[in-house]
Structure 1
Amino acid sequence: MKFFQSRRDKKQWESQYEDEKQKYNDSLNREDVSPAREGVLVGEQEQAANIFSEGGKNYRTMGRWDTALVLASNQVGLGILSLPKILDVLGIVPSVITIIGFGVVSWYTAYELLQFYRRHPHVVNMVDMARVVGGVPFEIIFGICLLIKICFTCGSATITISIALNTLSNHGMCTVGFAGIAAIACWLLCLPRKFKFVAQVGLPSTISIIAAVLIVIISLGVSPPQNAPPGFDKNLKVVGNPSFSDGVNAVLKVCYAYAGNVGFVSYMAEMKNPGKDFVPALTVLQVFSVVLYVVIAVAIYCLSGQYTTSPALGSAPTIPAKVAYGIVLPAILSTGLVFGHTAIKYLYVVAMRAMKSTDQLTDRSFKSWGTWIACATLFWIVSFVIANAIPIFDSILSIASATFIAWFTFGISGVFWYHRNWQERFHRKNIPLAIINALLIAQALFMNGVGLWAAITQLIDIFNDKENKVGGVFPCADNSLF
């Protein structure tokens, strides 16, 4: 694929990016700061400029609670539906430790993104950060990986919606058709261009997924789980004894539950005051997420035992499960919205930079709207193809975690820390953090190699299983859980 048709195109690309950076520097140095602007500059220089605060409309409108809602929509979604099943693999104690441990590490890595943003406030996404670290080559590689990673996440949302629609309709249509309906619905939701819109759906999304899992928990308290015989004996595992491959896949699913970091920088770029408001919003998110993940995973597993399914809603008896799938649809659509919006916003910025039109980025012109809609359409077509190429919920989660989430949530923050502190990495006060960030990079490399092997092995085994209903790529077969 040719990213630049000529050296001249490449130079224009670099010039556009440097112009944006220079605007930021100029905004710090100029003396004629307006009173409205001055209040933002004092104590928070990262607010001085970025491309979302210029042009036709100011996109930097999100406050602390708006951000908390966007973060909740970003993180509390599909991942939670796979957590109860991992307790049947790892056991209750190791699973709870893993969920809490990943939550703490995820908070730290997100905080490192904020520290890097403070140093380079002209960036508007993680790919811009990659450019700061490694120039254009690193930017291109990182940008491609970001798009593929988010396509996997949105593909998993498409699969989950197809499962829900098959469950609700008793397989009333070819599964590919349901996946197409899901992709079109998410595409429509992604058409508004501001993250402020995403924040507005955050609360309904969170309520819907909590309500759905509560229905499952209550129904399991009065009736046996799906496919369990009356009076069945639960086989609960305090400490599991999984195979190496099964253990790695279980850990990858926990990793997926903390996959939100990829969008955090994009949210900072549309916040009014990220230096002040992002950490409180992040802390609310992680405390809420960890508590919710542990309580729901333990409750559903202790009620379902060895009959726990993934997605977890299928553990409930038939009618409550259908009700839960209907109620959870807003949360699944929200996952497609928030991740899809992040990828589309990145594509949009790239396209507008390539056309040297960043001054029109926030305009309501034909060019800006046409570019946005084209980016959204391209993205959701690719996500639809990926969803049908890997139509297994657990497998697409594991493969996404092993290939990209390992870096976007954990490893890349370690790289950014070393970039910020390279000259002082062996300073006595920095040695503990240097070790921690080296371990984050090592963890990402381990998950890339061993995790990808385990995820692909699991997918091949599922396709080869004669009892597997899906059968292969672009399936028409029923993928409901009962």
Structure 2
Amino acid sequence: MHTSENPETKAVVDARRKDKEESSSMDEKLGNNTDTSGTHDFEAGKHEEASGGIFDGENGQSFRNMGRWDALFALLCNQFGLGVLGLPGALRDLGVIPGIIAIILIGCLSGYTGYELLQFHARYPHCVNVIDMVRVMGGRPWEIVAAIGLVIQLLMTCASTAVTLSVALNTLSEHGTCTVGFIGIACIACFLLCVPRTAKFIAYSGVPTVISIVIAALVVMISLGVSDPAKAPDGWDAKITVVASPSFRTIFNACLKIVFAFAGNITFPSFMAEMRNPVRDFPYALSGLITISITFYLTLAIAIYCLAGEYTTSPALGSAPIIPAKVAHGIVIPAVMTAGLGNGHIGVKYFFVQILRWLKRTDQVTSNSSFAWGLWLGCATVFWTLSFLISNVIPIFDSILSISSATTYAWFTYGISALLWFHLNRGRYFSGWKQITFTLVNVFLVGFSLLLNGAGLWSSVTEMLDLFKAGGVRGVSDCGDNAIF
């Protein structure tokens, strides 16, 4: 048995040791309950126990190689792209003031629940995804329910990516081919992006994502500043609603669009598992994500709505005059594709890790063996085939956003984090005024998730059915044109 340790592995093990020390310090500062009674932990395999996690690289390269900047760009890559395109429409429906308040509050709540995930990871660093965390908290039954929700959410997000890309390709080509074919092209392209197996590849895509979405937004805003929206009549003036009086259904659908824009939390634990020192570095990445997101979201939503008024569309790029809108759709393609990359990678990796755990071969997680690569590519093929099928069943961008937000995003962004906080703080909910405040906040988060589940699902499904009844919507697996113009 050789005892030599290569420098990369030694650095990872040292980082994990420091991570544990800092997690203990975090527990002391936060006053978290360190009693682990009632914890339903899964049985870790030999490799999972070896040096603190299955990504440490015992049988291959270490996947735990991300620092704070890598994490920030991975988070930006995952969150920017799809959700922001629906925000100007949310302001149109709610009015400027309620829309601004909703974006800020929902964004801050997402940041807080993201920090709760970090607290849980600091206590249970062997958890490599949010489903592992749910298993620790509630045992096998909760794990099954959460796993089904995870798969639904990631598939719906990737289906939305495919639909958005088909809209862009149809708009650019003036319906150059069957829309089902464009959706297929989008899914194949995203499949190829998911071939690399480390989260650091997602981080590399962060800069192109930000540049792409920012330039596309600038094209739309500048074009609207010098010309009217494509569908506006001659002599038109924008009608800006400061405080709207929307219907109950419209309010919920607008809020669901905002929830979708901040719904990257589901991927946070997976990124933490591939960081060298998440306890130290993830707070910086999370703070940067929330600050950049809220600032950019508000700027884009306010500017486009105030310039396009009642002709604001969702996705927002269609608000511009025809030629600038086509240019923007071409520029935004990298950002939309990387949204598929981020969510697709997490989905494929979940399948991959679970199968290896079932086979008791977690030593293959970081291996470059033909078996490991074959399994990874097989998981990616299954995942993107399912995304292709869903994107043809629900072919409307807004409906995919709203339905997925109502069914799963509410829980993975808010509800589950709140339940994890209750697990960490058992027996201490009312130990002081600060703890009582946090308890009330997390009770609100659970209630908010339940409300979005019930009323949100009703509003999004009925809206989709109304769109189908009104006609002009591409049917299931239909080659009809879904271009903006």
Q: Same fold, TM exceeding 0.5?
A: yes
What residue identity is the alignment partner of 2:18?
A: V
- What residue number does 2:33 align with? none
- What residue number does 2:483 align with? 480
- What residue number does 1:158 align with? 162
Q: CA deviation at 1:71?
A: 0.3
Task: Verify: 1:283 aligned to 2:287, yes or no.
Answer: yes
Q: 1:441 aligns with which of 446, 460, 478?
A: 446
- What residue number does 2:18 align with? 42
Distance 1:243 1:153 in 2: 26
Higher mean Cα deviation, 382-391 or 47-56?
47-56
Superimposed CA distance per residue, residues 343-385 of structure 1 (whole angstroms, 9 cap, x where no aligned partner): 1111100011111110111011111001100110000011111
Distance 1:35 1:443 in 2: 42
> If the length of structure 1 is used for normalisation, what is the TM-score?
0.91
Superimposed CA distance per residue, residues 201-236 of structure 1 (whole angstroms, 9 cap, x where no aligned partner): 110011001100100000011111011112202111
- What residue number does 2:413 align with? 409
What residue identity is the alignment partner of 1:202?
A: G
Distance 2:285 2:13 in 1: 24
Instruction: Say how many residue pairs are matched.
Output: 448
What residue identity is the alignment partner of 1:140?
A: I
Task: Verify: 1:83 aligned to 2:82, yes or no.
Answer: no
Secondary structure of 2:436's counterpart equals helix
Distance 2:180 2:299 in 1: 34
Distance 1:353 1:230 in 2: 64
| Identity %, equivalent residues | 52
> If the length of structure 2 is used for normalisation, what is the TM-score?
0.91
Structure 2 counterparts to residues 32-431 of structure 1, below 5 A: 37-38=13-14, 40-42=16-18, 44-45=20-21, 49-53=52-56, 54-428=58-432, 429-431=434-436
Instruction: Could you list the structure 1 runs, at least 4 aligned residues long, displaced by more than 4 angstroms after superposition.
Output: 33-36, 45-48
Superimposed CA distance per residue, residues 429-462 of structure 1 (whole angstroms, 9 cap, x where no aligned partner): 3111111001000000010000000000000000
Secondary structure of 2:171's counterpart equals helix
Q: CA deviation at 1:44?
A: 3.6
2:195–2:377 contact (8 Å) kept in structure 1: yes
Distance 1:424 1:272 in 2: 31
Superimposed CA distance per residue, residues 113-153 of structure 1 (whole angstroms, 9 cap, x where no aligned partner): 00000111110000000110111111111111101100000
What residue identity is the alignment partner of 1:52?
A: F
RMSD (Å) for aligned C-alpha atoms: 1.4
Distance 2:279 2:59 in 1: 23
Secondary structure of 1:285's counterpart equals helix
Q: CA deviation at 1:55?
A: 2.1
What residue identity is the alignment partner of 1:432?
A: T
What residue identity is the alignment partner of 1:230?
A: D
| CA distance 1:124–1:276, change in 2 (3 Å) | same
2:19–2:278 contact (8 Å) kept in structure 1: no
Distance 1:223 1:164 in 2: 21
Distance 2:158 2:358 in 1: 26
Distance 1:158 1:352 in 2: 29
Structure 1 unaligned blocks of 5 or more: 1-32
What residue identity is the alignment partner of 1:436?
A: V
